[in-house]
Structure 1
Amino acid sequence: MHRLPARPLKSILLNTAQIELWPADLLRVRSNADARAVATAHTVLRRKHDGRYLAAISHRAVQPLVPRLRREPGLGDAWDALDRLEAGGTRGFDAGAPGSLPLHALQDRLHALGLDEAYGERTGLPLVAEPAALAFAGFDRYRRPLWLTAGAARAWRAMQAAAAREGVSLDAISGYRSHDYQLGIFARKRARGQTVDQILTVNAAPGYSEHHSGNALDIGTPGEPPAEESFEHTAAFAWLTGHAGNFGFVLSYPRGNPHGIVYEPWHWCFVGAATS
């Protein structure tokens, strides 16, 4: 088994193609068996495509939570991610440059759905790589951990605090979403008999969502339903329109956007620097 890390994983999600490495205290645990193991762990390995917890890592042991952990696909990449964190600490990550995951595995899965580069050319949407690490940015409206890139996390917290000082409440609806999450939507809908073309009328193709980058954020305000055009008429949206650019956020899909995506007043993306 892998050597134990010297430091706990705190406020950082390490991301690999098949496995995520979570700070244990940010996870919701459903089964009693997992709860006992996670309670004494600092890091948990989580399978991306179905959310299954694979192993709990404490200072004293790696406790498998599935049979045949050693044969788990992607386990070597997960250990390598821990080793890189051990070797370099969080310096590179805090500087906002954690790197990105390769796209070749996603492209193979897109081809299996009958999708190729023509989809991106038709919509004008780029293929988006996942970050190799993400920062804890607080909790969303549903008390789920919110993960963003380090820069986007700092900017979101600063923007949320600035709005609050002016009496405006901003809450996060969702942030980072993996390719596997989007692929899961397609798998479930296809199992119900929908075709890929039918699914694409309401869901972006896996790999083409800004949420994969860790820089995009769906924003709401208390008392307003999530991801509805009515958000446009709130004080929160008015504040964002006037101030979000000061924190490096832009509205990605205004009315008449060239991608053919419906107007999304709730969807904002961090572009890395103040825009005004």
Structure 2
Amino acid sequence: MPLLPPIPLKTYLRNTPEIELWPAGLLHARGNATARLLARARRVLRRKRDGLYLAAELADGLHPLVPGLQREPGLAAARRALALLPPPAGGARHPLGTLPLHRLHERLATLGLDADGYGVRTGLPLVAEPDWLAFAGFDRWHRPLWLRIDAARAWQRLRAAALADGIVLEAISGYRSHDYQLGIFERKLARGQSVDEILAVNAAPGFSEHHAGLALDIGTLDEPPAETSFEATPAFAWLHAHAGAHGFAMSYPRDNPHGIVYEPWHWRFDPA
């Protein structure tokens, strides 16, 4: 089977505590008026907690997509991020910063959790979000996949090496913000699950490896996502044998000390 061509890592997401700055070409329009703006836009300001498009950056400035844009929390930080120079095409020497652990205690309090107590009980560290992420292609559902640039390059190499051996690897999930992680809890709570039941499968907001842009949930063709049945596939056998050579390790084996269920699909890139 032919190798996949490498994906250019020149497209990036600029990250701020409340708002993400997305390349407009990677977003789907929501209505005709939005479509006309997005067709001419460079970037779109997207609210992290619910994905709402807030404003489009055009050549002549910022065009609001919601009423009351000036009152939007985090707008000042997003405007400052708009003015920053883009990471260079190589990216390796571009300084990578992290965001403050913004509103973490507030998020955890809504779930009845305390950051210090949860961290001690699980042994999971707090994980800050990077201030920019590289576009690493698309996931199974053709959603943009964002990773830290070193992890994005490693994922490309891993996927290409697997394909050379006849194994198709699919990304299921990459970077997730603290707000996105909280949304997972809120949706599962609405379906009747308890916080303790959710914590057996999902780390609390602020503690997921996905926040750092270093972790990937990986699947393969004709296999349901995030199921233990993945361990019986040739794709998992290939990962078990070869992922370490590309810097990836499975984070949550059976009987792991963090109280998280066995996740044969969850692999983390170690930048060291």
| TM-score, with length taken from structure 1 | 0.89
What is the 5 A alignment of 1:110-149? 110-116=108-114, 117-149=116-148
> What is aligned with 1:239?
238
State, as a whole percentage, how many aligned pairs show the same letter: 65
Once structures 1 and 2 are overlaid, which stretch shifts more, 132-141 or 63-72?
63-72
Check conservation: 1:45, 1:54, Cα contact below 8 A. yes
SS in 1 for 2:84: helix
The question of 1:211 aligning with 2:210 is answered: yes
- Partner AA of 2:70 in structure 1: R
> What is aligned with 2:3?
none
> What is aligned with 1:36?
36
> What is aligned with 2:84?
84
Q: CA deviation at 1:191?
A: 5.1
**Gaps spanning 5+ residues in structure 2: where?**
1-9
Runs of 4+ in structure 1 off by over 6 angstroms are none
Q: CA deviation at 1:264?
A: 0.8
The question of 1:72 aligning with 2:60 is answered: no
Check conservation: 1:96, 1:149, Cα contact below 8 A. no
Aligned equivalents of 1:229, 1:76: Cα separation in 2: 44
Aligned equivalents of 1:56, 1:173: Cα separation in 2: 28
SS in 2 for 1:265: coil
> What is aligned with 2:105?
107
> What is aligned with 1:17?
17
Check conservation: 2:88, 2:94, Cα contact below 8 A. no
The question of 1:167 aligning with 2:140 is answered: no
Check conservation: 2:217, 2:266, Cα contact below 8 A. yes
SS in 1 for 2:21: strand
| TM-score, with length taken from structure 2 | 0.90
**Gaps spanning 5+ residues in structure 1: where?**
1-9
Aligned equivalents of 2:94, 2:264: Cα separation in 1: 27
> What is aligned with 1:263?
262
Q: CA deviation at 1:28?
A: 1.7
The question of 1:222 aligning with 2:230 is answered: no
SS in 1 for 2:103: helix
Check conservation: 2:41, 2:59, Cα contact below 8 A. yes
Aligned equivalents of 1:102, 1:74: Cα separation in 2: 13
Check conservation: 1:148, 1:176, Cα contact below 8 A. yes
> What is aligned with 2:250?
251
Aligned equivalents of 2:58, 2:186: Cα separation in 1: 35
The question of 1:47 aligning with 2:47 is answered: yes
- Flag the 1:240–1:96 CA change in 2: closer, same or farther, 3 A: farther
Q: CA deviation at 1:260?
A: 1.7
SS in 2 for 1:84: coil
How many residue pairs match? The answer is 262
Q: CA deviation at 1:148?
A: 0.3
Q: CA deviation at 1:179?
A: 0.6
Pick 1 or 2: higher relative contact order, CA cutoff 8 A, min separation 6: 2
The Cα RMSD (Å) is 1.9
> What is aligned with 1:4?
none
Check conservation: 1:92, 1:98, Cα contact below 8 A. no
